[in-house]
Amino acid sequence: MKCISCYREIKDTLKFCNYCGTKQPADRAAYELEHPELADAMPEEEVKTLLEEQERQRQEEERRRQELEEQQRLEKQRRLEEQQRLEEQRRLEEQQWMEQQQQQVIDIPMQEVPEGYAQPVIPSQSDIAPHVTPTPSDGMSTELVVSSPRMAATTKQCFECGQMVPANSLVCPNCGAPVQQSYGGSHTEITQMVPQGYQQPKPAATPQQPVINIQSGTSGGNNKKILIAIAAVLAVGILGILGYFLIQRNKATYINTDTKSLYFSRKGGDKSLNVSTDGNYFDVDAPKWLTVNKTESGISFNCGALDGNVDRSGVIIIKSGSQTCHVDVVQRAYATFIRFSEETVEQGRDAGDHNITIDSDGGDFQIASSPDYCTISNLTDQGFTLHVDYNSGKHRDGTIKITDGKNEATLTVSQKGVCGSCGGNGKVTCSKCYGTGEVYKEDYWDWWYETCSRCGGDGIASCSKCGGSGIR
């Protein structure tokens, strides 16, 4: 039989509990009829053992969950390192290609002068020097001024761009404009004493510059083609250099996002990333099953529903200059975990509402079971609203199960009601004196009755189940 106080199993022949010392009723059958809860009572040790077993199971589930998260973290790190290696290889290839393009622009040769063009002959110093320089002597009183053309300059200034170009150039190598040839200029005056009657020799003739007709003729057509070719080469070179500097202009030193992973449920939806960088702009490379849209603060992604039963994943690469940032993205076919914000909801006898949030990588949630006194509404990926009805009866417990594919989560709902032991009065017959108000005492020499210390002699005590409130 069970002790009426501590509810432990004791021998039927004992008058006092060998655990707590409580006297057992003489009429056991009559007492059990008055106290039906005695048959359903569970010893404290069994309750403690049950709680310890539940805690052990919870710790084992937590350990398994941590192992799974560690495996996922290592796999994510491996994929990230592989993406960084591929990105570095691609960057080196782009740099080598750009250097080759620059070298090609630098190595472009200047166009040759068209055939048939005769370079002008520049007279030497001996051709323009005077032939006779007589020594002064008596009778040489006449002064003669001998003039000679000054030697032509080796360079001259282009009238179009203002750069210095060789004097014998037909076309400016900097801007492609024709260069005007000229060998005129001032003369050097040389005053010498010559004999009377000496005749000054004639200076050498100034070489004539060939006239090139740009409008018509063979030479003009060839020069026009040369100018077009030079302009085309310069345009290509300028565009290449301009493109190179536009790329190198984005000197970003860092680029970061507010998260390194995005998860979409089976039915898809919208997610956003906040991007921070000191670069001028950034580019985004995402899987084809995502729709990308740049915003002022970052990037928004839209994912469609997943038709199959297998997860799909990818990597989002965000680049600004030479800096890159990787974000893993996964769309789950089913949820791998479902957790509620509360494990147990406790509600009084009155009706009430509770907002329950859901932490999960799924989203296609279904209600598997629910007590008849509970109503679930507004079920979304983030949670739901739980309504508990008024309880006019005894204390009741129930469970709510939410599923997503192969996984489920359970929420316990506990609502207070009328105490089954005292019927809501909060008072019961004293279990120590059985309502008599006295308890039996004895020793080796004598026996006697004394006032019950539990009920103070009234025979009625507060209900131990509800603490005297009548609600449990």
Indicate whether 327 and 355 sit together in one domain.
no
Position 242 pLDDT exceeds 60: yes
Position 71 pLDDT exceeds 80: yes
Position 215 pLDDT exceeds 70: no
Q: Which domain holds residue 160?
A: 153-180+219-238
Indicate whether 389 and 420 sit together in one domain.
yes
- Tell me how far apart the alpha carbons of residues 211 and 217 are, in angstroms, rounded to a whole number: 11
Indicate whether 281 and 225 sit together in one domain.
no
Residue-by-residue DSSP string for 198-267: PPPPPPPPPPPPPP--SSSHHHHHHHHHHHHHHHHHHHHHHHHHHHHHHHHT-----EEES-SEEEE-TT
Report yes or no on 70 lying in a domain: no
Instruction: Please tell me which of 5-19, 21-35, 73-87, 222-236 the model is most confident about, judged by mean pLDDT.
Output: 73-87
Position 195 pLDDT exceeds 90: no
Report yes or no on 119 lying in a domain: no
Indicate whether 378 and 453 sit together in one domain.
yes
The pLDDT of residue 80: 92
Indicate whether 452 and 344 sit together in one domain.
yes
Position 192 pLDDT exceeds 50: no
The pLDDT of residue 213: 45
User: What global pTM score does this model have?
Assistant: 0.36
Query: What percentage of the chain exceeds 90 in pLDDT?
Result: 24
CATH assignment of the domain containing 371: 2.60.40.10
Angle (CA) 330-331-334 rounded to 5° is 120
Indicate whether 343 and 423 sit together in one domain.
yes
More confident residue, 185 or 89: 89
More confident residue, 466 or 414: 414
Indicate whether 227 and 259 sit together in one domain.
no
Q: How many domains does the chain have?
A: 3
Residue-by-residue DSSP string for 309-365: SS-EEEEEEEEETTEEEEEEEEE-SS-S-EEES-SEEEE-SS-EEEEEEEEES----
The pLDDT of residue 123: 46
Indicate whether 296 and 383 sit together in one domain.
no
Position 208 pLDDT exceeds 90: no
Report yes or no on 442 lying in a domain: yes
* Encoded tokens for 252: 């970003």
Indicate whether 402 and 370 sit together in one domain.
yes
Indicate whether 357 and 454 sit together in one domain.
yes
Q: What is the rounded average pLDDT for all residues in the chain?
A: 77
Report yes or no on 457 lying in a domain: yes
Position 113 pLDDT exceeds 50: no
The lowest-confidence range among 7-16, 19-28, 197-206 is 197-206
pLDDT level of residue 243 (50, 70, 90 thresholds)? low
pLDDT level of residue 188 (50, 70, 90 thresholds)? very low
The lowest-confidence range among 60-74, 109-123, 261-275, 427-441 is 109-123
Residue 130, CA distances (Å) to 42, 134, 200, 436 in order: 140, 11, 8, 161
